[in-house]
Amino acid sequence: MGAKTSEDDIPGGNGRQSPSPAICSTGGQPRGTHLSRDGDGCLGDKGGDDDDDDDDEVGPGPLTGEGGKKKRKRKPRSKKKKAVAQSSPPRVPLSDLFKSGEYPPGEFQEYSEDFNLNRTTAAEVRYNGRKHLEDPTFLNDYRKAAEVHRQVRHWVQEHAKPGSSVSELATGIEDGVRALLGNQGIEPGDNIKAGMGFPTGICINHQVAHYTPNPGQKDVVLQHHDTVKFDYGVQINGWIVDSAFTIAFDPMHDTLLTAVKDATNSGIKASGIDVRICDVSAAIHETMESYEVEYGGKTFPVKPVRNISAHNIQHYRIHGGKSIPFVRNSDQTKMEEGEVFAIETFGTTGRGWLRDDVGIYGYGLQHDAPSQVSLPLVSATRLHKLIKEQFGTIVFCRRYLERLGVERYLAGLNCLVSHGVLEAYAPLADIQGSYSAQFEHTFLMRESCKEILSRGSDY
């Protein structure tokens, strides 16, 4: 999820016409199990069931021949069938796949310079902001959230096709995340323990960020020529993995996707302890503008989007207050040890400037809003209580309210927005006819290295 960096007052909607009513049979029944690819970690040395008697069942094939003798000596199989691989759609809780309770680390990336020599922030200030690092469960939980993200997106990447319904993909992602976390998020407090980090974003072509299907809307169906950006978050105990990728069915988009993926990786590479934001932005900008794309015999520069940014992540706060634009700037703010960053970039063939599209993406409690407010509507007061119990400051969408059985919430939501309790987020779009792409990773600035938690073999 991107941080919008500046206001835009160009009026008017920009709604995408959905080509036809959703007639789509995708998203159906489980197709049986599949083995995860490299990086997904299902069967890695830390994965699988390494805690008990039948480790040797997790092998390349059934035991035959001389293995038979050994087989007889084994304890009887447990009656409950063991899951050793993720299902499709993904429904096997990660706790069943990683019996040791230890989750695979992300990619370790060294800092390019030893910035430890010239720290500028007082040690005590840094320490106070990084107490989470002392929590022994912090890193493992964060890795688990990243593994959930990887396994769910594996399903998306195999499953999303021309003809797929956007709302089925969104609920497919959310059902997958909740199943893998082993938490359906229904009882008060459950969503706060673990769940979606923010509304699932599925943005097509000129829609750049913050579109999610809303109840009652006409469904959108993916087309062959689309670029589709999937941006979703997985959180455990308030630490959110924010990661996004773009898929396209038509190879004409290959260069656009490569450019943006490269720009994101340049931003991650440039990041480090005491590195200035302007230097990360410059690296992103330089990479992005080194590409051009060709559509229909015409050449376009890949423009970085100017009014949305990468960002740091704080506890239960998707946008932690630091913003990293994709264009050159003079921001001297430094990245610091212990911080979590979501480095994302967006490239577009349009103007590189987003305006609010029609509709609403989601809502989030203002993190500094008072917990008691006097509101003119009883329904708003009730809704406020429910939001605090169910989501806290996690950004949510209307679908997340409806699955909790909340009804007739619109007046209450509007009241909470107008009283400054809730912030509403609009979908963001470039000009009609343009194409855009996004890639995003979450990483932790550890003392000795960056750990790119959400890295996978896919991106």
Q: Which residues fall in the annotated binding site for a divalent metal cation?
A: 231, 242, 311, 344, 440
**Both tokens assigned to 59:** 């092998």
Instruction: Give the three-class secondary structure for 422.
Output: strand
**404: CB partners within 8 A, 6+ apart:** 186, 386, 390
Nearer to Co ion, 242 or 337 (CB): 242
Nearest by Cα to 292 from 284, 301, 283, 279:
301
Under the rule (CB under 5 A), what is the footprint of Co ion? 1, 242, 342, 344
Q: How far is the CB of 440 from Co ion (least distance, A)?
A: 5
Q: How far is the CB of 242 from Co ion (least distance, A)?
A: 4
Q: How far is the CB of 308 from Co ion (least distance, A)?
A: 9
Nearer to Co ion, 48 or 106 (CB): 106
Q: How far is the CB of 343 from Co ion (least distance, A)?
A: 9
Are the C-beta atoms of 241 and 442 separated by less than 8 Å? yes
> Which residues sit in the known binding site?
210, 231, 242, 311, 319, 344, 440
**Both tokens assigned to 227:** 């670029």
Q: How far is the CB of 114 from Co ion (least distance, A)?
A: 29
> Which residues sit in the known binding site for substrate?
210, 319
Nearer to Co ion, 342 or 426 (CB): 342
Are the C-beta atoms of 229 and 202 separated by less than 8 Å? yes
The answer, yes or no, to whether the previous bond of 89 is cis (omega within 30 of 0) is yes
**176: CB partners within 8 A, 6+ apart:** 89, 90, 91, 151, 152, 155
Nearer to Co ion, 24 or 313 (CB): 313
**Both tokens assigned to 201:** 């974003």
Nearer to Co ion, 342 or 422 (CB): 342
The three-state DSSP-derived secondary structure of 356-398 is ECCCCCEEEECCCCCCCCCCCCHHHHHHHHHHHHHCCCCCECH
| CA separation for the pair 389, 182 (Å, rounded) | 19
Nearer to Co ion, 174 or 242 (CB): 242
Q: How far is the CB of 442 from Co ion (least distance, A)?
A: 8
